Structure 1
Amino acid sequence: MSSADVGRTGERQRAGLREVLAVREFRGLVAAQVASEAGDQIARVALALLVLSDTGSALLAAATFAVSFVPTFLGGALLGSLADRFSRKSLMLLADVARAITIGVLALMAGTSAPLWVLFALLFVAELFTPLFESARAASIPDVLGSPRLVTAGTGLTRSLHLANQAIGLVLGGIVVQLSSPQAALFVDAISFIVSYALLAAFLRNRPAMLDATESVRQLFTDLADGWRMLMADRSRRALILLGWGMAASLVAPEAVALAYVRDAGELDAWGGVLMASVITGAALGSILVGRRTPRDQLDLVLPLAITVCLPLLLTGIEPPIVLLVVLWFVSGVAQAFLVPVMSFTTLLTKNEHRGRVVGIASAGFAAVTALGYLVTGFIADRTSPAFAVTVMAAIGLLVVSIGFVRWPSTRLRSDVRELELAGH
């Protein structure tokens, strides 16, 4: 079959949700993801409310969310290579056990007069296993689904579910705490990891590690350096990842100042939640829609969608009516689907034996810039206004995409994606 024939076949065949969910192993991965991520959000809300009740400090309450970024940055970069050197299923099971135990201890400590630093330390330890789990899970998706078109569709679905879990988990966390206590919500999180463990144990095949195991910490740093060189040496993956990192701060700008924007506008605080939900809901919908398209179509959408993220946010500066702002931020959220091909192609274009470390580094960089985005947006908002802060971050995003257009390796990326399609057939 010629590449032209493959291209025409690929155009006719778009992977749908039914097709990827027909894969039993993938259903197990998805179910485990839903269980553990929803539990994570419930726990973060519960701990934040607990800290707020004990101290009355909004800063310390916000710190409970910020704590989760540090392990993602450190753990994702350093521990991602373990997904290449050990069984990925075993690593996910280990991460679930470790998180269940640590969060269980945290729940017990939350019912005592334990100092805050102890609670934060336990949360930090629990979160340290999350990037290990995520690196192993992301590296497993091509193993489970095989075909590039199924991988891109599956990545879109997992991205959409991740965003939905954020919204649902945050709401459920508040409800559980309201009806019972923060301690009960933390126990719910611990149980969610046990559920995730059971699902993975039942559904996922145990595949051997791609590389030899290591007990040396020095080897982890060597793998980190090697992964960085692999990522930066390849023009296609470098372009994709640098675009994702460069846009990360702009993506979180609306969520960072939504509550402050509503306060400044004299609206009810409930509108702040609606604004944040509009971005997340849009991103979840966009991820599904883009994930169903062919790999080549997804590649063509990356830069246009990245631009579309920023354009509605620029209009925030004129401080439109709150209902119109909800629509604008929803549209911006839908366009965040450019991250689906960024994530899936970065994984697919990496050799199987190196996927763990490369995915880990990519996740770590995105987490670091995301955390920076929250801080910078808040800093600008404090000194000007929330609306102006979002506008500035949108302008920065447009600058990043403009550089991306100039430096975008279109020919190389198209060639790489064509090879993926040929391999998939």
Structure 2
Amino acid sequence: MAGSGLGAVFRVPEFRVLWVAELFSIAGDQLARVALAVLVYGRTGSAMWSAVAYALTFLPALLGGVLLSGLADRYRRREVMIVADVLRAVLVAVMAIPDLPLWVLCAVLVVVVLLGSPHTAAQGALFPEVLRGELYERGLAVRQITSQSAQLVGFATGGLLVAAMSPSVALLGNAATFALSAVVLRIGVTDRPAPASDGGDHATGGLRGIVAGIVEIATDRRRRALVLLAWLIGWYVVPEALAAPYAADLGAGPATVGLLMAADPLGSVLGAWLFVRFVPAATRARLVGVMAVAAGVPLALCILRPGVAVTLVLWAVSGMLSTAYLLQTQASFVRATPDGGRGRAIGVAASGIIAAQGAAVLLGGLLADASDPVTAVAVAGVAGAVMSAGGAVAWHRANPHADAVAEPAALRRG
């Protein structure tokens, strides 16, 4: 593979291991989400319970990101990932037990999702040690492409697989993917020591550490601007949540709903590849604010009520731009965070993204009920663009020479 392309990251053995382990987990999770929806609906006949089970695969991550991500700064990160994978393998296997009471199923699911937070924080904090320099952005792009592609393929094939093997067997398959991930990590990732504390209170853990970590980000002008821009991504996921009513408003059928929901992931894949492959490294940080604002423009144009084909293009373009700017905010944010507090910082930022997406989707749904889905999507685009303009100004003022930011040796976010 060309040295300047995304494939260069696969020349790093540890990245290959981390990527394969993550691929196992993504594939298993997509299968489990479909299996849970089928299992819960089949046992209760309730669409509400099915929706609750699906929501529980996401929402506890908000709490876990704040409370548990600090474990990645207190213990060896490889061990944090392995222990989380082993525990999740066992718990998901428990969920596969036939006739398990529904409340037990949901309680176990919450714990499984909570355990994903320290794993994600440890993985995110470890990547700068594995991928140095510009390779880090390429690694982020590869992971984005992998996860979005998994969504496209997973939801398309998950139903067929669950129908062929039963929900319980599918859950056992998900448990096996966690176990495989743990084995791969144990064999292929270097056992590094726990990160050295930088002396901040956030390294101590507990409520004091949580508050200190949040305050540290809030008082750092550069990281504050970056994390606020990242949280604004919530406005740009509103269309995906409103795909069904939007299609109905256009007079289109169920097939169009799937196409609309696929537009953003497809745009994300293209955006990640194009941004890292063709935009010079020295230019990317300067474009963060511009792309964040621009991502809202295609959604705002939906107010003109274009047909399905044009809407698909608009949503895909928005996905391209939003993914590109989010990749760079992540890279710049982690580069500006000392290694000793990196896990906590990643957890706080990721939790904010989840919360922002939930809040934006809720507001979009309320607006769609009060007016119509097309207007709600357009308003989300305008809100995202306007707020991102403020974030862009804050980023420029905090870092007027974004292209000249050097990465100190102590802040290896490679």
Q: TM-score, normalised by structure 1?
A: 0.89
Quote the residue 1:5 is aligned against. none
Q: Runs of 4+ in structure 1 displaced over 6 angstroms? A: 421-425
**Equivalence for 2:362:** 375
Equivalents in 2 of 1:343, 1:382: separation in Å?
A: 34
1:64-87 deviation digits (Å, cap 9, x = unpaired): 232233321111111111111101
Match status 1:234 vs 2:220:
yes
- CA distances 1:344-394 after superposition (whole Å, capped 9, x unpaired): 111111111110010010011111111222222222222322111111211
Q: Which residue of 1 aligns with 2:393?
A: 406
Greater shift after overlay, 342-351 or 160-169?
160-169
2:168 to 165, 174, 183: 183
Q: How far, CA to CA, are the matches of 1:407 and 1:14 in structure 2? A: 35
Q: 1:15 offset after TM fit, Å?
A: 4.5
- Greater Cα shift, 413-422 or 388-397: 413-422
Paired letter, 1:397: G
SS in 1 for 2:379: helix
2:61 paired residue number: 72
- Show the counterpart of 2:152: 167
* CA shift for structure 1 position 218: 7.9
Match for residue 92 of structure 2 among 82, 86, 103? 103
Cα distance change on mapping 1:415 and 1:338 into 2, 3 Å:
closer
Structure 2 counterpart SS, 1:207: coil
244 and 371 in structure 1: CA distance in 2 versus 1, 3 angstrom threshold:
same
Aligned to 1:155, which of 135, 140, 161?
Answer: 140
Distance 1:409 1:105 in 2: 50
Give secondary structure in 1 for the equivalent of 2:161. helix
Unaligned runs of 5+ in 1: 1-12
* Matching residue within 316, 330, 334 for 1:347: 334
Q: Distance in 2 between matches of 1:61 and 1:80?
A: 28
Q: Provide the TM-score with structure 2 as the length reference.
A: 0.92
- Cα separation, partners in 2 of 1:283 and 1:413, compared to 1, 3 Å: farther
Matched, 1:192 2:181: no
Give the alignment of 1:272-311 within 5 angstroms: 272-292=257-277, 293-311=279-297
**C-alpha distance in 1 between matches for 2:285 and 2:403:** 11
Which among 395, 405, 410 is matched to residue 418 of structure 1?
Answer: 405
Counterpart AA for 2:39:
L
User: What do the CA deviations read for 1:140-190 (whole angstroms, capped 9, x no partner)?
Assistant: 00011122x111211122122222222222223212122222222211211
Q: Deviations over 1:95-127 (max 9, x none)?
A: 11111111111111xx21x34322211111110
Q: Secondary structure at the match of 2:399?
A: helix
Which residue of 246, 250, 254 maps to 1:265? 250
TM-superposed deviation, 1:315 = 2.0
For the pair 1:25 / 2:14, whether they are aligned, the reply is: yes
Identical positions, percent: 36
Secondary structure of 1:205 counterpart: coil
Q: Kindly tell me the number of residue pairs found equivalent between the two proteins.
A: 405
SS at match of 1:420: coil
Post-superposition offset of 1:296: 2.5
Matched, 1:220 2:206: yes
**Unaligned 5+ runs, structure 2:** none
Q: For residues 14 and 224 of structure 2, what CA distance do their matches in structure 1 show?
A: 30
User: 1:125 is paired with a residue of what secondary structure?
Assistant: helix
Asked if the contact 2:70/2:205 (under 8 Å) is kept, the reply is: no
Matches of 2:252 and 2:64 in 1, distance apart? 40
Pick from 60, 77, 84 the counterpart of residue 88 of structure 1: 77
